[in-house]
Amino acid sequence: MNKLNQNVSKGKASSEVFKVPSWVQNFATLSGRKARARLIILFLITVFLGLQIPKLQFNYDFNSFFPEGDEDLAYYEKLNEAFGEFNDFLFVVIKSDNPTAKSFLNQVKESIDSLQEFDRVKSVQSLFDLNRIQITPFGINKVSLLSDDLELPDGFDFDRLKGKFLGNDNKSILLIVRHIGFASKSDGDEFYQDLDRYIESVFDTDYLISGKAQMQYDFTRKFEKELASLLILALGFAVVVLGLIFKSLKGIIIPLVTLVISIVWTMGFLSLTGKSIDVMVVIIPAILLIVALSDVIHLVHKYDEFKRVGKNTKDSLYAVTVFIGKANCLTSITTCIGFLSLYVIPIQPIQDFGFFTAVGVFFAFVITFLLIPALLFYFPSPIEKQVSVNSLWQKWINSFFLFVLKCRKPILLFTVILSVILISGISMVRLNTSILVGFQKGEPELEQVAYFDSNFDGYKPFEIGISINEDRDLLDVEVLSEIEKLEHYLENDLSITHIESPLTLIKEINSGFYGGSKNYLKLPEAKNLRRLSRFYNSPRLSDSRRLFEIEGENVVRLIGRSKDIGSHETRKLNSALEDFLNSEIDSELINVRLTGTSYLIDKTDNYVVNSLIKGLAVATITVSILLLIFFREWRLVLISLVPNILPVLILFGLMGFFQIDLNISTAVIFTVAFGIAVDDSIHLIVRFYLEKDRSKSPIWAMKRTLSGTGKSIIVTSLVILAGFSLFISSGLSSPFYLGLFIAITAMVALILDLTVLPLLMLKISKKD
């Protein structure tokens, strides 16, 4: 994004800033042989990387959003090794006006019997599994509550089934299909598609399948559509912008070829590394098109300027490469820094997004200065269709500058007051995420979650690990009492539903001692525990025990479901749970630990804030060092940061006022916004830095700076603003908020660069 495309005087400052090393001079001096070599090399690399693109895979892996190196993640993985992953199931909802009708139940029962034969199905839970424990002189049995003609006993409490196997709307029935863990996403996709086809072939009513395998299949298909949609929008936008600026076919084709090759290189490189396209990577091609567009525009535009003042092709290409190239290099580095600073967030999709986008920006810079000069060597005529120049711009910018000078105090005061008001919204920023990371409200995926929340008591898995102290046993009455106390708290205070644990089985066995009476569906008396233990450890109940207990170890698991209320509210409940555990649960008996995918996803919020602050700090310090090396003036460095840090703080404040959640989807925005926005300030300061040597006063230098660079800043800021606004059409929250906030940043930074920044620069120059 280069605005250093204006003529500057030859002075001391100019020679220092634009001192050209011999290797750059050699690179910038183009001949027919060099041009051919460049085109051949670029063609071969493009073909090679282009052939890698078909190998790209789309993926949506929940586990990739877990913070790396986290001790809770290690604990979760340890439990998974012992018990298997709790998330390995699919909900199958079959809708019916009368879900308890005998004919419908017969059809469901037959389908369950068929599903049990699927190779990768471990079990199918449904209302047909409703049973009671029967204790006989011959041992223990499970007796179905449903009679052979599929009728429930008289007086059966149907409310027990609502939200568990029957929908709260009385118009649906739920099957829980538990399957094996899949070694790859393709295996999960195949299983989900087989299940979907089977259910569709059996039932002529509406149905719904949901779960981890379904999400990963459907979401990757959505990513494919999003990638195509955003890429088409960005390409269309690039064509329109190029057409409006250059008004010629050549002015569209040459820049567009450069942009497309940049995308081919980036996506081909991504494929070579084995990276899949996920919820973050899906927006990289569109970002590259927009970010690199202004670089390409300015290089081509400056070439035309040199040609029209009488320079020959070789001299024009040399001048463009030397003067535009150095500035482009600086601004590309600052943009890369913004993306690379995302690496401090310990979440793999965000790190990959930052790295591969930075690589793409680097590729775009290299391709721009290799390809365009080589093409222009063979097609040397000016690209832009010449139009008559009028003085409207000069009149407007001069009037605007005079207004800024006359109203300097009100402008600065208004900026301070408005900034303080907007930044105060930071106190209202809410850390919040949901189980479906990266999706917009109103999308079908989230409506599906809402359906389960309202009809089946929640969609969100809940999981707890319980370690029993070595000198105790699970069937110790005191241990069981502590677990019962915990379950009671979870049900009543945390609204966890359908809790299952070893206690569930123990209560059923105790009820079996009394003919299945509901009155005895409770903990047994201490004197009966020894008798109960013999039945509890029966081989006939091994499958039931395996879901909650590790043989030979004092570790058990408690599972349940809850509604997806968001991590903001869940954190409050988890904090209350921790207080309860510390005050009410005897740690001499058991140790309780929250775990599970939902807990780990919610926990990512804790990493977002710390990592976000670190990322901004890394980006700010790195850019400052780079600018200090370039300008060799610390005051100019500080000035360049003011109008770029301020928009980022204002973004934080606006998030608070508009109740936009801060989470892993929105966390990437701020460092990226800083890296992109800082370019305008750099170019304005550099131009002023050069104009001071040939102007009679700082005010005249600033006037000349705004007359030349101001127009470029406005044009490229509008390109960024309009380009990123295209992302607002996305159904994914990452591109939506990235587009919205980058557009806001571009507008705020533009206003500050044209008002506050010139006044600050004049203030320092006055002291000089």
Q: What is the mean pLDDT of residues 732-753?
A: 87
Distance CA 264, CA 46 (A): 7
Distance CA 304, CA 317 (A): 10
Answer left, alpha or beta for residue 247, where phi above 0 means left and psi between -120 and 50 means alpha: left
Quick check: 705 pLDDT over 50?
yes
Q: Are both 107 and 203 inside the same structural domain?
A: yes
CA distances from 452 to 174, 566, 600 (A): 10, 15, 21
Written as one letter, the residue type at 106 is N
Confidence band for 152, pLDDT divided at 50, 70 and 90: low
Confidence band for 768, pLDDT divided at 50, 70 and 90: low
Q: Among residues 217, 237, 262, which one ends one of the domains?
A: 217
470 lies in some domain = yes
Beta-strand pair 89-95/207-211: antiparallel
Q: What is the pLDDT of residue 114?
A: 92
547 lies in some domain = yes
Distance CA 108, CA 101 (A): 11
Distance CA 62, CA 597 (A): 8
Tell me whether residue 699 is exposed, middle or buried, using C-beta atoms within 10 angstroms of its C-beta: 0 to 12, 13 to 18, 19 or more.
middle
711 lies in some domain = yes
Quick check: 425 pLDDT over 80?
yes
Confidence band for 320, pLDDT divided at 50, 70 and 90: confident
Q: What is the pLDDT of residue 4?
A: 38
Written as one letter, the residue type at 765 is S
Q: Are both 225 and 360 inside the same structural domain?
A: yes
| Chain mean position to CA 624 | 28
3-state SS of the chain: helix, strand, coil percent to 5?
A: 65, 10, 25
Q: What is the pLDDT of residue 147?
A: 60
Q: Are both 575 and 670 inside the same structural domain?
A: no
Q: What is the pLDDT of residue 360?
A: 95
Q: What is the pLDDT of residue 265?
A: 97
Q: Are both 164 and 263 inside the same structural domain?
A: no
**Chain segment 459-510, per-residue pLDDT in tens:** 788 999 999 998 888 888 899 999 999 999 999 999 998 898 999 989 888 8
Q: Are both 229 and 213 inside the same structural domain?
A: no
Q: Are both 210 and 249 inside the same structural domain?
A: no
**Chain segment 45-70, per-residue pLDDT in tens:** 999 999 999 998 877 766 677 777 77
Written as one letter, the residue type at 703 is K
650 lies in some domain = yes
141 lies in some domain = yes
Q: Are 67 and 607 in contact (CB under 8 A)?
A: yes
Q: Are both 765 and 728 inside the same structural domain?
A: yes
**Chain segment 368-379, per-residue pLDDT in tens:** 999 999 998 888
Q: Among residues 582, 601, 620, which one ends one of the domains?
A: 601
Quick check: 237 pLDDT over 70?
yes
Q: Are both 453 and 591 inside the same structural domain?
A: yes
Residue 426 structure tokens = 């930071």
CATH code, domain with 107:
3.30.70.1380
Q: What is the pLDDT of residue 10?
A: 36
385 lies in some domain = no
Look at residues 520, 596, 512 and name the one whose alpha carbon lies nearest to residue 558.
Answer: 596
Residues whose CB is less than 8 angstroms from the CB of residue 23 and which lie 6 or more positions away in sequence, other chains included = none
493 lies in some domain = yes
CATH code, domain with 320:
1.20.1640.10
> pLDDT above 90 covers what percent of the chain?
22
Ranges 343-352, 429-438, 457-466: which has the least confidence: 429-438
Distance CA 587, CA 590 (A): 5
Number of neighbouring beta carbons within 10 Å of residue 156: 13
Q: What is the mean pLDDT of residues 318-340?
A: 82
Confidence band for 200, pLDDT divided at 50, 70 and 90: very high
SS (H, E, C) 104-137: HHHHHHHHHHHHCCCCCEEEEECHHHCEEEEEEC
Q: What is the mean pLDDT of residues 75-100?
A: 84
Q: Are both 90 and 213 inside the same structural domain?
A: yes
Look at residues 115, 240, 245 and name the one whose alpha carbon lies nearest to residue 179.
Answer: 115
Confidence band for 149, pLDDT divided at 50, 70 and 90: low
Q: Among residues 166, 199, 217, which one ends one of the domains?
A: 217
Q: Are 35 and 377 in contact (CB under 8 A)?
A: yes
Q: Are both 648 and 681 inside the same structural domain?
A: yes
Q: Are both 128 and 187 inside the same structural domain?
A: yes
Confidence band for 712, pLDDT divided at 50, 70 and 90: confident
DSSP for 390-453, written as a single string: -SHHHHHHHHHHHHHHHTHHHHHHHHHHHHHHHHGGGGG--B---SSTTB-TT-HHHHHHHHHH
Q: What is the mean pLDDT of residues 10-28?
A: 60
**Chain segment 598-620, per-residue pLDDT in tens:** 888 777 777 777 777 788 888 88
Quick check: 590 pLDDT over 90?
yes
Q: What is the mean pLDDT of residues 251-264?
A: 92
Ranges 92-96, 324-328, 529-533, 645-649: which has the least confidence: 324-328
Q: Are both 456 and 592 inside the same structural domain?
A: yes
Q: What is the pLDDT of residue 20?
A: 66
Q: What is the pLDDT of residue 14?
A: 46
Q: What is the pLDDT of residue 11?
A: 36
Q: Higher confidence at residue 304 or residue 468? A: 468
Q: Which domain holds residue 515?
A: 64-72+447-601
Report the SS3 class of residue 86.
coil
Distance CA 483, CA 462 (A): 16
Q: What is the mean pLDDT of residues 723-745?
A: 84
Distance CA 121, CA 38 (A): 57
Please count the residues of the chain.
768
Confidence band for 43, pLDDT divided at 50, 70 and 90: very high
Phi (first) and psi of residue 692, to 5 degrees: -60, -35
**Mean pLDDT of the chain, nearest integer:** 83
- Say how many domains are in the chain: 4
> pLDDT above 70 covers what percent of the chain?
91
Quick check: 321 pLDDT over 70?
yes
Structure-derived torsion over alpha carbons of residues 189, 194, 196, 200, reported in degrees to the nearest 10 = 160
Q: What is the mean pLDDT of residues 143-159?
A: 63
Contacts 24+ apart (CB under 8 A), 303-306: 303/372, 303/376, 303/382, 303/383, 304/382, 304/383, 304/384, 305/5
Q: What is the pLDDT of residue 1?
A: 41
Q: Exposure string (b/e) for 713-747, b if CB count within 10 Å is 16 or more? A: bbbbbebbbebbbbbeebbbbbbbbbbbbbbbbbe
Distance CA 673, CA 675 (A): 6
Quick check: 597 pLDDT over 90?
no
Q: What is the pLDDT of residue 282?
A: 81
571 lies in some domain = yes
Q: Higher confidence at residue 330 or residue 400? A: 400
Q: Are 491 and 499 in contact (CB under 8 A)?
A: yes
Written as one letter, the residue type at 600 is L
